[in-house]
Structure 1
């Protein structure tokens, strides 16, 4: 991608600017930048709840930087740890690390850079966020190795993204942590676990062959679907309770009903024997749900 220099001379290339970590487009593919839509709205929702309105712009700005950096670190680290498996899995053989478009050395450098940005951004928010920054990075990294040992990896990933509303709340109110962000943490944990179980159906045979402990590979398709349905039910319940605990007004409950309906549709779309709709269930619907939660929180406060 190139931008013309308005003053003439050599044009600027985003890919050239990102050369230490690989081409910009390859880095975005590696970390699936579009998936930031899953966690970021929940972080903003936590901040809005703590402020009971628009959070301070300073904390909101650095919260956004911290969230993007933390997710980028976690995704890049996951790609490094999974590289031996990604080379053998037909579904993942076009990933930049597998093809050599990005080297492992560049990815380690990228991880270190994102970790530094995350810690600095947390320090710019407040002291509590700074203290929690390194433990949060470690927590996010554990998911990448957990699949080798436990099918609970889906719920660990859920809890990692579930930290988003807690982070948002602490960015505004570092000295108190009340029930609403904790209930949102539980809602996000179960929500992510459900769609990660769905996503794992794509690699069910591969995981069984390579002794990886996803829930579909460990428990079978029917049990996995039942656990995903249970997780969606818990998501709906905890979102409802979060609205009650936060004292949100009627628009939140309209949004909650819509989200619950989308979760039901998502579950109906998933059929282990027919994965044509897995991207719709995984990305499209869930990419809608998280911004809708944020909209519901804002409307529930102001209307």
Structure 2
């Protein structure tokens, strides 16, 4: 979740740097980034569960167990999806944003079909590939919505 906190500061910093004013929109995006990144970071941490346990590291998979860690990841990604939808309703109402949001949310939940409690062999596909595609596509659609 530390990674989520670090990356969640980017929308606030970028917005302030570009506009020079405070607004609630980047706070919502920041919280969405926090929940999104924290959710996929928990999935990624499943790979290190045995190492973390052996070295007495208090990762979420060690503290909660694999099944509960995956449930926390699911919950965080559900919150992410709700925030993305809320942002669309309140601030970015373009059709481009809506399309991007649906693609992003679909990919977000798709990664949870790849990782199972008894089979984490597809974590890298879920973590790297799916999140990479989701983030780039969502950013492109948000930019399209702002420009068109």
User: Which has the larger helix fraction?
Assistant: 2
Match of 2:9 in 1: 163
Partner Cα separation in structure 2 for residue 180 and residue 242 of structure 1:
7
Three-state SS of the structure 1 residue aligned to 2:146 is: helix
Partner Cα separation in structure 1 for residue 108 and residue 26 of structure 2:
21
Give deviations 1:260-282, integer Å, cap 9, x for gaps.
Answer: 11111101111232222111001
Match of 2:115 in 1: 270
Q: Is the 8 A contact 2:104 2:135 kept in 1?
A: no
Where do 4+ consecutive residues of structure 1 move more than 6 Å? none
Partner Cα separation in structure 2 for residue 254 and residue 193 of structure 1:
24
From 20, 25, 48, the equivalent of 1:180 is: 25
User: Alignment length, in residue pairs?
Assistant: 148
Q: CA RMSD in A?
A: 1.3
TM-score, normalization: structure 2?
0.93
Match of 1:244 in 2: 89
Partner Cα separation in structure 2 for residue 165 and residue 217 of structure 1:
31
Three-state SS of the structure 2 residue aligned to 1:229 is: helix
Partner Cα separation in structure 2 for residue 245 and residue 291 of structure 1:
22
By relative contact order (CA 8 Å, sep 6+), the higher-ranking structure is 2
Give deviations 1:182-212, integer Å, cap 9, x for gaps.
Answer: 1100110011001110111111011112111
Match of 1:287 in 2: 132
Partner Cα separation in structure 1 for residue 80 and residue 93 of structure 2:
17
Partner Cα separation in structure 2 for residue 222 and residue 258 of structure 1:
26
Match of 1:235 in 2: 80
Larger radius of gyration, structure 1 or 2?
A: 1
